[in-house]
Amino acid sequence: MRTFFPLPDVAPLAADNPFAAQSALPLHYPPFDRIRDADFRPAFEAGMALQRTEIDAIARDSAAPTFDNTVVAMERSGLLLHRVQTVFSNINAAHTDPEKQKIEAEMAPRLSAHRDAIYLDEALFARVRTLYESAPALHLDVESGQLLIRAYTQFVRAGAALFDADKATLRELNITLSMLTTTFQQNVLKETNAAAVLVDDAKQLDGLSEPQVAAASLAAQARGLDGRWLIAMQNTTTQPALAQLTDRALRQRIYERSSVRNIGGEFDNTTVIADIVRLRAERARLLGYPNHAAWVLDDETAGSTAAVDGMLSQLGAPAMANAKREAADIQGLIDQQAASSGTASFTLEPWDWAFYAEQVRAQRYAFDDAQVRPYFELEHVLQDGVFHAAQQLYGVSFAERTDLPVYQPDVRVFDVIDRDGSLLGLFLADFYARDSKRGGAWMNAYVLQSQLFSMKPVIANHLNIPKPLPGQPTLLTFAQVTTMFHEFGHALHGLFSNVRFPSLSGTSVPRDFVEYPSQYNEMWAQDPQVLANYARHYQTHEPLPQDLFEKVLAATRFGQGFATTEYIAAATLDQRWHQLDVGQTPDADGVVAFETDALKETGFDFAPVAPRYRSTYFSHIFSGGYSAGYYAYLWSDVLATDTEQWMKNHGGLLRANGDLIREKVLSRGRSADVLSMFRDFYGRDRDIGPLLESRGLVLAEPADS
């Protein structure tokens, strides 16, 4: 039975709407100076209506289905909707406002219904299924074959094979989930801003640098709180200031405020989580899966919940053992200082960890972050580190331009020049934190590369580095330096894409593969040749002393227990939530207890080390597309450390090495099976050994049988 979806009367998009036609700026770069909030709604409306017309024409085509008139035709549909949706979602994440949030909440269910109208259309699915079942006779090239596989897989996973009654239920579930995930993310942003800790006495800020104190004062002034200081929150459980503040009471106040975000109050997320988890479980059961995680992982390289649980279990125990050894060292220092000063000692708490871990590092390795920050000035790191490594390895270069509009004054734009001198793409750098920006660091594409549309990529990186006072340098921690290299790895994955179809372009790969190029790119942050080029004192230009950096690297091993444990604890929570069957999910009152029990049952109830994200502000899994997929960073890191080892074994920062990984992996998007691409580059299957070595983990020997 043919299911037609309604085509409402929608007024044509006004010619002066900036989304009415492709941007005339270079590489179709968005005309940010012309875009207003009022432009989004009509563009969304017109874009959905136009794509519905295009899709209906494909489904009703009287000609027999062919790859071109069905699969490629679908690729060609929805260009207007893609333009507006891409720009809106990216700006809304990077520089939101109340009106954008209102539009997001309004459009989320409508976009969900629009997607379902396509993927649940019987006639359209019948055409795709016919092609899929006759694929050998089509004699498609590898990339076209991959696109057909992806199209068929997406239809089936979206419920195209369900009966009509189940499709109706699925539509309602998807609409409700789209609204809930939007509410979750907006609650997190609002609560993160509201949770900033106000300080009345500057003496409590002892330990922060003068620029950091000044920035806290400026943050308070921006909210009309003159004469006080504001410690803004980041999205993780542990906050950066905890490593520096000497006032233990203030550290405790910051940590406790951070760790209870979105539990109760105006921006409560416990009810939202309970509903999301329940509805995801119901949807998975409807689609024929035992739980949401099984549905997600069926389309990832991991393949199953058993594979993910096995990895987390395998690495969790040695990570926790490392964390407990680190805790013992920290507790020893606390006790030693108490004895020396004649004061009472205290038990290590999570708000103490970062502060005393820094002292252990300083004591053991004779350095602290304050010594190395002056060598990591942002502009040097970007130009002489991140860009330099890419230039040496891949032959690309970067030229800043100021003639293109931006959505916020701090944003910078660069031409990316390829090895043959042609324009490869455009790169946007948005590094500073602000209240209108969501937390974390990420990459996004404003324009996807595709040969089908002769498109070159427009790619952006976003970080949340606290902005210093005017005229002051932006001095980074080594962790922030590593994040810059990480996100630029994603950017290169998008910039180097060289595929025909936009659906397979750049980072359009499985979640547990997408982090591989970014984590691999981190290696260049500490490569001796790259480091010597960017790590220079911002005042004297003296290079970072080799012995000091060796201490930095040695010290990174101390802390791997904490870092790996907090990450695996969060990844385990993700799996626990999403492996629940229908009827097992808690109600809102049980959300906090469920998290507590899950951590205890899996051995991650170690008080000094909390999960990197607690459930109520775990945006990755409840609104960010990583549901049942947060494990992906560790899964991808196996590939990344294998690649790092390969690079070292083959001479390191050489053009030949860069050209090879670009050809075999970075340029290919999802145009072939991704693990096959990795094997083609690496020469064999993934090997967990280099990862274990890099994190200082030793797996327990199996018991004798």
Residues marked as catalytic: 487
Q: Is 253 in contact with 231 (CB distance < 8 Å)? A: no
- Annotate 672-693 with three-state secondary structure: CCHHHHHHHHHCCCCCCHHHHH
Q: Is 251 in contact with 352 (CB distance < 8 Å)? A: yes
Question: Rounded to whole angstroms, what are the CA distances from 328 to 360, 435, 504, 551?
Answer: 11, 38, 49, 21
* DSSP letter, residue 699: P
Is 339 in a helix, a strand, or coil? helix
User: Burial letters for 218-248: b for 16+ Cβ neighbours within 10 Å, e otherwise?
Assistant: ebbeeeebeebbbbbbbbbbbbbbbbbbebe
In sequence order, what are the beta bridge partners of 425?
Answer: 416
User: Which tokens sit at 623?
Assistant: 């609104």
Closest alpha carbon to 371 in 477, 275, 227 = 477
Strand pairing category for 458-465 and 423-432: parallel
Q: Is 326 in contact with 558 (CB distance < 8 Å)? A: yes
- Give the contacts of 399 (CB within 8 A, at least 6 positions apart): 414, 415, 417
Interatomic CA distance for residues 212 and 376, integer angstroms: 16
Closest alpha carbon to 33 in 400, 382, 399, 413 = 413
- Which helix (H) or strand (E) element contains residue 400? strand 397-401
699: buried, middle or exposed (CB in 10 Å: 19+, 13-18, 0-12)? exposed
Q: Which amino acid is at 45?
A: E
For residue 414, report the phi and psi dihedrals to the nearest 5 degrees.
-130, 135
- Annotate 404-421 with three-state secondary structure: CCCCCCCCEEEEEECCCC
Question: Rounded to whole angstroms, what are the CA distances from 526 to 283, 388, 660?
Answer: 45, 13, 21
Interatomic CA distance for residues 583 and 571, integer angstroms: 22
* DSSP letter, residue 208: B
* DSSP letter, residue 492: H
What are the residue ranges of helices labelled H in 195-304? Answer: 210-222, 248-259, 270-286, 292-297
Cα-Cα-Cα-Cα torsion 361, 364, 370, 372, nearest 10 degrees, comes to -100
User: Which tokens sit at 545?
Assistant: 């002393």
- Give the contacts of 47 (CB within 8 A, at least 6 positions apart): 19, 78, 80, 81, 82, 83, 84, 85
Is 348 in a helix, a strand, or coil? coil
Question: Rounded to whole angstroms, what are the CA distances from 208 to 204, 240, 436, 688?
Answer: 10, 11, 25, 39
User: Which tokens sit at 659?
Assistant: 């050209």
The string of DSSP codes covering 125-191 is: HHHHHHHHHTHHHH---HHHHHHHHHHHHHHHHTTTTS-HHHHHHHHHHHHHHHHHHHHHHHHHHHH
User: Which region, left, alpha or beta, applies to residue 227 given φ > 0 means left and ψ of -120 to 50 means alpha?
Assistant: left
Q: Is 389 in contact with 527 (CB distance < 8 Å)? A: yes
What are the residue ranges of helices labelled H in 445-506? Answer: 478-495
